[in-house]
Structure 1
Amino acid sequence: MTTMADVARSAGVSVATVSHVLNDTRPVLPRTRQAVLNAIEELGYAPNALARSLVTARTRTLGLAVSAISNPYFTEILQGVEAAAVEQGYGLLISDPRDDPGHERQVVQLLHERRVDGVIVAPSADPHALVAHLRRHRVPTVFLDRTVDVPADAAPHFDQVCADGTEPTAELVRHLAGLGHRRIGLVAGRPGFSTTRERITGYRNGLLAAGLPYDERLVAHGDSESAGAERATADLLALAAPPTALVTANNAMTIGTLRALRDRRLSVPGDVALCCFDDFAWADLFEPRLTAVAQPARELGVRSVRLLLERLADPERPARTVRLPCTLAHRTSCGCPDPTEDAPPGATERTTT
């Protein structure tokens, strides 16, 4: 079995130098570093991760807590996290918090007990117990997709990365209003999520910009899931003056809303126009094709890893919140003619900020 001493002899350096190259514990001349890397490659040396963690107090493992099993949106985020972590030489431990505060606290504690170097978490609607645990144990943390209100003087500092949810939702509402709709309903997400608050704010901003009044009866919470959206859509359609257009606030709720419309034999966009937040792989395979806001899911995952590694490198730097722009995929469920018929490739998508 090849050892670090074998690598040192082959490269003509000390064992300490090999250790510095492997662990980035001290600057090494580029030519010396390359000689060590060449020896590692030639001899097929595999560092002992456990032994290295005892020396550096790092395991080069990150924890990820997102509901990737039940939500395709988080699955794409997971792909970005995994790719960025592996690129930097980190492994990944994954847990599903199920958007449940108690389970969330438990799975993150388990990740911490397994000595991950830091965690990336999509927080639940009530993350107080989670935040208290992370603060108490000073766990380097990035909150992903949903932001958390943390005091400015919190120690340790928490970083956050998310997509902009306000302006893209406002744009969907303005677009529907521009098509003549005056009663536009919103199938909103679970109360307590920052994403839900942002999309409701965007909905109200869109109405205001279009000169339309806000009517709370036109906002129904679908709890960020398909079954909840089906119920919420049914409630909206049962109003004495039901909406003529709907905005759904995530991909799972779009499915529930479409199911509710189908069950009532209502056509889209003939009877009810539809725009949705969260584009997904089969959105342009529906008939009609879904007009949707696409979040940069994979890039959110990549950025979360970068933020966490920056925090590990500089634990005392000020907290950062990164917001990424979304892209509007303009299709036909809103009631517009198919924009792809006469448009050049890529012309149906534009960035929103």
Structure 2
Amino acid sequence: MDEALLRSLTPAVIGVLVRRGADFAAAEDAVQDALLEAVRGWPGDPPRDPKGWLVTVAWRKFLDATRADASRRHREVRVEAEPPSGPGKAADDTLQLYFLCAHPSLTPASAVALTLRAVGGLSTRQIAQAYLVPEATMAQRISRAKRTVSGVRFDQPGDLATVLRVLYLVFNEGYSGDVDLAGEAIRLTRELAARTLDEEVAGLLALMLLHHARRRARIGPGGRLVPLVEQDRSRWNTRLITEGVDVLQAALARDRLGEFQAQAAIAALHADARTAEETDWVQIVEWYDELVRLTGSPVARLNRAVAVGEADGPRAGLAALAELDPALPRHAAVAAYLHERDGDRVAAARLYAAAAEDAASLAEREHLTRQAARLNALLRG
């Protein structure tokens, strides 16, 4: 059984049913039932047209579930008279499904879960394991999300920026359980890129590839977080870096810059440096300037302060940092790093300890705690 094939066909089949008039929840349920039949029957007798088989079986299951309703029977007659949808229409259905799963009425957590279920083809159990929650909890979350979008018309224009934010949320979850969410996000973004020539879709794909290329070097023994400056760059995946740079260059050539392209350009400059010392910090600052211009993001300004500290010295970085709200996440960690670079170990140790208390993950907390302990040991010695 080709599980990857089934997962790749799932969104297109759901899309066909929704376009024919099924509400989202009923369409998704019918497709899941069809997939179960495929798992049971395909190994011994695979169809010549897998997608057509799934559409036929799923539509039949939808009709079986709703046949008692007179309006549903009317729709059955109308739809069965329609000609089969061509490849172009199938592509539109899948793209619309991305938009539907990232609907603004959904919370980010619900949008992510629904995207992984309907577009990614993951089971509820797999999604629950990835997010470390009980399967029943995830099932309720997905059911609520399906009910929320069931009344949304399928021909309404979608917000591509929202889709990209949802995919980036999936990517940043990384790896948990038996599902590689970073890899899944890359797969879904590749599919989206194949269906639209939007520069920001390409920018997000490039950003994911360039970040994912450093994955093996990012975690040390015992799950220890390894900062970029300390990573063994021979462990970076050069194939992914090459692909990411190629995708980015093609997007930038269209001269319609967006935030994901700017972030990818920064990641590409890091990937291009053979050693940390060879990093082109001046150009990275210039790209952060573009990113701040595009987004006004406080996080971009915070990262820019680090880059300024590398390009123009730690005091210049601290001056840039002073313009930002100290309550900003990771503000204390950046201040600690810049103070240490400036030779103020006392302030740096205090700030590392404070940053550790507010760390977003256990790995980050342990890293910042080790930094504070290292400096305190040097001060005592």
Q: TM-score range by the shorter chain?
A: under 0.3
